[in-house]
Each structure stands twice: as C-alpha cells, then as structure tokens.
Amino acid sequence: MEKFMAEWAKTHGQLEMPGAMLMKYGPEDYVGATIAVRATLYFKGSHTAEAREALCECFDAYRAVADDHLKWLWRDEPPSGPDKYAYAKAPELRAMVKKMDEDHNFGFTYTGGEKPHDASPWLFSTFGRPAWEARLPGRGPDSLIFSLPQEVVEANPALFQKLFVDFCKLLNVKHGHGGFALNLSAVRGEPNEPTEAFMVSKMAGLDAGPGHIIGGLPGRDVEHHLVTVGWLTAINHSMVEKLGGLFALRSELPASWFAQYDYGNGIVIQAGPKPEIAPVELDSKPAIYVLPAMALKDVRLSGEISLHYGSKDGEPRLTGLPAMEWLHRFDAPEEELMRYKTKLLNEPKLTPDSTLPDRL
C-alpha cells in the first residue's frame, strides 16, 4: 500500500485534487479533494445540553492534536454572527453554544485549508438537528466527522483509534466507521463529488458520500443500519446481539488481526494495524475488510441508495448501481470465506503500538 500511495503522489501530486476537476466547467483554482484518514460517527440528541457538551469535549480532544493546523470555521445557520470565521479569530465553541437554544442547528465545521473553501485532511464537522426536527418521526441520526492527515496517523499509530473510541463513548454512538477517505471541500462538495466517484473506483478502501447527508436519508433507517465497514467500525449492543453476540463475532474475526474495544453502548472493531486503501489494480478485496463486511452483513445498510447528487453532464456520480456497488464492494460469496480466512494469514497483524491497552 505504501508503494502504491507513493507512486500515486509522484504522478498525481501531493494527494490533492483541484476543485471541480471532472465537471464540464472545471478544473478550478482551489483544493477540491484530498486524501485523509476520516471517521463518521452517528448518534442522537445533539439538541440536548448533554450531547452538546459531549461534542465540545470531543472538539477539546481533537484540537489538542489539530490546533496549529486549523484555519477556518464554518457555521450552519448561526443564530447570530457570521457563518465563516478565521479560526484564530473565532469564538470558543462553548461560547457559541451558550448563545444557542435547542431549536438551532448544531452545525460547526473546522477545517485546515489555506483558503476557506479548500479541502483539507484536518477536519472536525458536526451535523445536529434542531429539537423540533429531531422530534419528528423518521428523522435520521446526527453525525460527527473528523479526520487527520495520513502521515499524522502513521507517526502516531494509536492516536486515531483513541480519538475514535473516546468520541464513541462521549456521544453514546449508534454506529460509525473510520478509515481512508477523500475529504471534499466543506462548502463546495457537490462539484467535487465526481472526483470522489472516480477515486473510489480506483481505491476500494476509500469512504464515500457526505456522512451528514447520508444520516438524514429518509426511509433508509441509517440510525439502525451500519453504512459501511472500515479500519474502525463501531456497532451498538443491539447490533452485536443481532449478529449472535461478541463470541460469534470473535470466531469470525481472529484476534491477531482484529481488536475489539468497549465504548459503553457497543463495541469498536479495529481491522489491522493501520487503514488499507485497497487499490483496485492490486487488491480491491483485502481479507481484513472482507471478513468484517461479511460478519456484519445483517446490520449493514442495503437497498437502493444514492450517495451523491445526480449527474449534470455525464460526469461520474455514486447514484443508482455505482452506489450499490460501493456499498457491497467488500462482499464475497459465503463459500469463498474460507479462502479469505486463508488470505488473511498474509496480511499485517496487529501490533502492541497499534492497539489500545483496554481491548476486550
């Protein structure tokens, strides 16, 4: 994987792609997309004081790592003040939260792009429904997305896992996933979706789709169904029981390659010592992702779904069949699972420095 990424960077630049790269009118002069290690966590109740304080605590932990790299704050429908701040001049998050009531959106996006609309691997973004909307039937979960640059994760082999598990505990998450992803411009996402659609066709290990929007899809019951599996996958206790319990999961996920951590409302599964990008030209179905995808199949999202907006001029988008193919990219026939378990023997095992000390 390291060789593939090095070659990609050599031929495609520093893992950054220009804005609207595949749109008819593009490319444009800003960073439209960049590779990062990203987590998406789904939870409920961001209109409550308890959840809002938990989100502030999550940001406290994130900025302890990212503070020197954050450049901008975008706010979603703020009750007062501008929707954009230079990070150095932005009010403290808790100070802004104190001025909000429960019927205000909890939408804050911190990013590290040089320009306000540049994509960046440094990202902390919340989507929280106002109380009036959260109480309506059929509304999906709220979400938190955060990411770090690949090189930071590699230099600190347990950092991302700790943030992921700690945030799951603080937010009492329903489920979530983390691994390689393509961060799009926080405020110009739609014209950069084709870049994401193209990249996920080349790298199966990339996450896809705007997590904040996916969580709100009507009729898909994202609250109770895992969107995808990744390097890190969080599932709640109801999901664990539906899958036959922790013992059944462990029997499918050998301890030398897979770790489990308790986060209170469920467990986090770590697949291997570091995320895999799964380049299609080398191996689009690494066993380290196929085995958990199949073990968790009964609680994963299925059915027709669109991860992007519709195509305007024939540019690639993850809608219809391409979206379904992405959701099922790590599926394998049941009769081939033994072959993948054998294949796992040649994939990297967990190491003491890449796992947290309190694994189950």
pLDDT at 322: 93
Of 144-148, 159-163, 182-186, 299-303, which range is least confident?
Answer: 299-303
For residues 7 and 148, which has the higher predicted lDDT (pLDDT)?
A: 148
Binned at pLDDT 50, 70 and 90, residue 14 comes out as: low
Report d(CA 339, CA 190) in Å as an integer. Answer: 40
- For residues 48 and 15, what is the distance between their CA atoms, to the nearest angstrom? 38
Name the pLDDT band for 291 (thresholds 50, 70, 90).
very high
Q: What is the pLDDT of residue 306?
A: 83
The answer on pLDDT for 162 being more than 90 is yes
pLDDT band at 195 (very low <50, low <70, confident <90, very high): very high
* Mean pLDDT for all residues in the chain: 93
Is the predicted pLDDT of residue 220 greater than 70, yes or no? no
Average pLDDT score over residue span 245-257: 97
Q: Round to whole Å and give the CA distance between 94 and 327.
A: 37
Rounded Cα distance between 246 and 237, Å, is 9
Q: Cα separation of 177 and 164, whole Å? A: 9
Tell me: the pLDDT tens digits for 101-139? 999 999 999 999 999 999 999 999 999 999 999 998 888
So what's the pLDDT on residue 302? 83
pLDDT at residue 5 is higher than 70: no
Mean pLDDT, residues 32-52: 97
C-alpha distance across the termini of the chain, in Å: 28
Give the pLDDT score at 2: 56
pTM of the full predicted structure? 0.95
In Å, what is the CA distance from 58 to each residue of 117, 145, 161, 170, 189?
Answer: 24, 11, 14, 7, 24
Range scoring the smallest mean pLDDT among 13-22, 92-101, 199-208: 13-22
Partners of residue 279 on adjacent β-strands: 203
Q: Could you give the CA distance from residue 310 to residue 135 in angstroms, rounded to a whole number?
A: 30
How many whole angstroms separate alpha carbon 69 and alpha carbon 151? 14
DSSP letter, residue 283: -
Residue whose tokens read 């206790």: 237
| pLDDT of res. 138 | 81
Please say if the pLDDT value at position 10 is more than 80.
Answer: no
What's the pLDDT at 1? 46
pLDDT tens column, 59-105: 999 999 999 999 999 999 999 999 999 999 999 999 999 999 999 99
